[in-house]
Amino acid sequence: MPLDWEEFLDPYIQTVGELKIKLRGIRKQFRKQNRYSPIEFVTGRVKSVESIKEKMQLRGVLEENIAQDIQDIAGLRIMVQFVDDIDEVLNLLRHRKDMSIVYERDYIRNMKSSGYRSYHVVVEYPVDTIDGQKKVLAEIQIRTLAMNFWATIEHSLNYKYRGEFPEEIKKRLSTTAKMALELDEEMRKIREDIREAQLLFDPVTRNYSDGVGNSDDSDELYR
């Protein structure tokens, strides 16, 4: 029988929805206590059927192995202000009881040759369905705003050129990757001053939601 994609993707949709609420809830708790939140905002998405099929073909993945071999069908992205915040977010994730970390990939200390930087964590998350509990793999990417800006542009260009960048584009991506790295390093040097300044603002006036609607986080940022 052909795979029922709608039924197959339902647990992933549920996983992304629940994890967005929980991760945004962490940020809400910090802000309600007028404490600095290492989480700036959270977005999420479920891969489209077309994108999954493309990855299956590229990697030679069989239909019966999709759930294990394609681990980013459910994807979340946690944005932070500073590089040092990434370790704080990782510590929060590692101590959670509602998910287990399968593996981690550090592309910050081990930057890709393209200039890509991010920290990837694959977690196993249990979702409750009418047929019982199902464990779903989800990939959580943690990155600074500078990392995300560069990665988003590179991702768009990758689609346009199908991975075969012209030399001029390669050079510009390499240059801007270095600039993004330098920006993160400079911001790190004044991190404490920025954090203190932000906490001087009345938290009531800050634009954050109740953790359910999450109106300040746009999933359009994560494609």
List domains and CATH numbers for the chain. 5-201 (3.30.460.10)
Q: Are 24 and 76 in contact (CB under 8 A)?
A: no
- pTM exceeding the 0.95 threshold for the entire prediction: no
Q: What is the mean pLDDT of residues 76-104?
A: 97
Nearest to 146 by CA among 76, 81, 85: 81
Output the pLDDT for position 204.
46
8 Å CB contact between 76 and 19: yes
Closest CA to 12 of 44, 34, 43, 37: 44
Residues 6+ apart with CB under 8 A from 169: 157, 161
For residue 3, the SS3 value is coil
Quick: pLDDT tens for 24-67. Answer: 999 999 999 988 899 999 999 999 999 999 999 999 999 999 99
Q: Distance of alpha carbon 124 from its chain centroid, rounded?
A: 15
Cβ neighbours, 10 Å, residue 76 = 23
- Quick check: 202 pLDDT over 90? no
Mean pLDDT, the chain, whole residue set: 90
Check pLDDT > 70 for residue 76.
yes
Buried b / exposed e across 127-155, counting CB within 10 Å, b at 16+? beeeeeebebbbbbbbbbbbbbebbeebe
Strand, coil or helix: 184: helix
> Which residues are the active-site residues?
139
What are the φ and ψ backbone dihedral angles of 120, each rounded to 5 degrees? -110, 135
